Amino acid sequence: MAAGRGATVIVAFLLLVVLQLAGATSAAALPVAINTWAFRKAAETAWRVLQLGGSELDAVERGCGQCEIDQCDGSVGYGGSPDESGETTLDAMIMDGNTMDVGAVADLRHIKNAIGVARKVMEYTKHTLLVGESASMFAVRMGFPYEDLTTQKSLSMYSKWLNQSCQPNYWKNVVPDSSKSCGPYKRPEKVTCKEEQTISQRSVHNHDTIGMIVIGESGTVASGTSTNGAAHKIPGRVGDSPIAGAGSYADSTAGGAAATGDGDIMMRFLPSYQAVEYMRMGTDPTVACQKVISRIQKYVPKFFGAVICANTTGSYGAACNKIPGFTQFHFMVSSPSLNQPTEQVVDCI
């Protein structure tokens, strides 16, 4: 009997040690910063801000802002993704998971630091989202320089697109046939809607967003995005990136998420909000990301997209939709358990 009690005590002691170790591991997992794609300099910048005592919002703003400066893959910042008129416009958002405040800009013209303007929207207005030339005027009043976002590269992209009969483009059910000409388009006398089940025009070589989640030592969550949107988009088009719950979402009681890919499809499903709600219910971050991708797959099997997720204990994960040419998704992670910001990879589902 005494031996039995002794064994019980030993088991209880070992269990306590294991629980303490688990607690230590969990504590050491924070802070954590995660961003979409292998945008290393953005990850390094965000992590450096945290290490120097900056806030989670500071880290998100500076990290995404680094991509705006670097023109990450031509899909963030100035001089990329010209629209049908040849102009580059920017979308961005930033979210505070403590207060649920959001600042966002869309169709921003002539201003390079889109996420910087988004933060000013959050801090100096009672609004959430400002758009178009009016957002640019707000930015100027906030001290941002008004400058040309066009570069030789974006002009070359635009010229090449015009020379190949404006292909690809985002029109449908119009005359003249948008798959063969540049328009101008109008609706036909008699509409015959054709449902197209083609693979998304967005590809792994046309990723459109840096999305970032930062969780501080105390579990405070911030998130943000920045993009220049879809190349050759119809002027005025806004995708998922600046929309809270679509492009990214942060809630310090649950976690954060950010999405990248075909924003026109993904924004319809609010994937970032949905992923955070899954994590709130106790779902592992990787599984939360996978469930979000699966929900979209049911309606649009061939969509291009990925999601990153992190909860308030510092656990994180990612998931992507498998299509030809896109079978793995690369993302960056920074945490105390890693010597430096590290590129990680997941297989698409």
Beta-strand pair 305-311/328-334: unpaired
State how far the alpha carbon of 273 is from the alpha carbons of 9, 20, 213, 284, in Å. 45, 32, 13, 15
The region of weakest confidence among 1-5, 46-50, 256-260, 307-311 is 1-5
Q: Please say if the pLDDT value at position 204 is more than 70.
A: no
Residues 331 and 322 sit within 8 Å (Cβ to Cβ): no
Q: What is the mean pLDDT of residues 189-214?
A: 66
Percent with pLDDT over 70 in the chain: 87
Q: What is the mean pLDDT of residues 151-157?
A: 94
Catalytic residue positions, numbered:
209
State how far the alpha carbon of 157 is from the alpha carbons of 85, 182, 205, 230, 239, in Å. 12, 15, 14, 13, 21
Residues 255 and 278 sit within 8 Å (Cβ to Cβ): no
Q: 239-259: per-residue pLDDT in tens?
A: 999 999 999 999 999 999 999
For 149-282, strand residue ranges (E) read 210-215, 221-227, 248-251, 255-261
Q: Is 63 annotated as a binding residue?
A: no
Confidence of residue 16 (pLDDT cuts 50, 70, 90): very low
Q: Residue 72: what pLDDT?
A: 87
Q: Residue 268: what pLDDT?
A: 98
Q: Residue 105: what pLDDT?
A: 98
The region of weakest confidence among 112-126, 132-146, 196-210, 326-340 is 196-210
How far is 55 from 63, CA to CA, in rounded Å? 12
Q: Is 240 annotated as a binding residue?
A: yes
Q: Is 239 annotated as a binding residue?
A: yes
Q: Is 96 annotated as a binding residue?
A: no
Q: What is the mean pLDDT of residues 104-118?
A: 97
Q: What is the mean pLDDT of residues 292-305?
A: 97
How far is 128 from 209, CA to CA, in rounded Å? 20
Q: Is 70 annotated as a binding residue?
A: no
Cα atoms in the Cβ-side hemisphere of radius 13 Å centred on 334: 30
Q: Residue 189: what pLDDT?
A: 87
Q: Is 198 annotated as a binding residue?
A: no
Q: 226-242: per-residue pLDDT in tens?
A: 999 999 999 999 999 99
Q: Is 263 annotated as a binding residue?
A: yes
The edge-to-edge listing of strands for the beta sheet with 248-251 is 248-251, 255-261, 305-311, 316-320
Both structure tokens of 98: 């403590």
Q: Is 60 annotated as a binding residue?
A: no
Q: 50-109: per-residue pLDDT in tens?
A: 999 999 999 999 999 999 999 888 889 888 899 999 999 999 999 999 999 999 999 999
Q: Residue 23: what pLDDT?
A: 34
The mean pLDDT value of the chain amounts to: 90
